[in-house]
Amino acid sequence: MDYTVVCRKLGKVYRQNTIAVHALADIDLEIPRQDFLCLSGPSGSGKSTLLNLIGGLDKPTSGEVEVDGIRLASLDKGALAKLRLRRIGFVFQAYNLIPVLTARENVEFVMQLQGVPAEQRAEKAMAILKEVGLSDLADRRPGELSGGQQQRVAVARAIVSEPSLVLADEPTANLDSRTAQALMELLVHMNTEHNVTFVFSTHDKLVMDFSRRLIKLHDGRIVEDVRRG
């Protein structure tokens, strides 16, 4: 089977003064391409830590992570940044849009870092904004958009560079239930139409219900791994 992500014996220990906090322990996880997976569990269970390790935003204390067959531990800082830029999209709870840029410019930003020519950037940005239902708001800045609209811009930005993996940390946390439902329907469409693997970290039952695979963590360990269709 073709896997987007493989974690082997993954562990993470944080030090707080003289106290060792074991955030993750012995995580073995294989995520096939185009999976739609949710990491759930109470606060402190390790789900956000696992998401950060998969995204190369943090380094494990033990074990290893592979993304698209590439061992993250084998990459230096520059190569790791390049891998994140080209292979991983991020959707954050706080949207993380650049306030002074328009929706279109925010979507173009990753492509600009990739060196995509301006005309091609603009064309791809408008196409993806149309797909998420925001082409008529392309010239508005984040402060002129609702929370749901900002999250759709964030999704468009994560998808436009055609990554193999999108990591979403609490993507519905700041949205009302109706907007969250619409967002999840959009992400299902992106997963199917763009062949992108999605991994969510969430407390939200709605996100869990949409996910085809639910992994529950407790005290830094996987206690349940259920595939639902």
Domain map (residue ranges) of the chain? 35-57+77-227
The whole-angstrom separation of Cα 158 and Cα 151 is 10
Burial of residue 67, with CB atoms counted within 10 A of its CB: 0-12 exposed, 13-18 middle, 19 or more buried: buried
Average pLDDT over residues 195-214: 94
Q: What span, in angstroms and rounded, lies between the C-alpha atoms of 146 and 185?
A: 18
Give the domain 35-57+77-227 fold.
Rossmann fold (3.40.50)
Mean per-residue pLDDT of the chain: 92
The pLDDT of 64-83, averaged and rounded, is 95
pLDDT of residue 229: 66
Q: Give the other-Cβ count within 10 Å of 94's Cβ.
A: 12
Check whether 92 has a pLDDT greater than 70: yes
Residue 33 falls in which region: left (phi positive, over 0), alpha (psi -120 to 50) or beta: beta
Query: What percent of the chain has pLDDT above 70?
Result: 100
Report residue 107's pLDDT band, with 50, 70 and 90 as the boundaries: very high
State the pLDDT confidence band at 39, using cuts at 50, 70 and 90.
very high
Q: Which two tokens stand for residue 3?
A: 């896997």
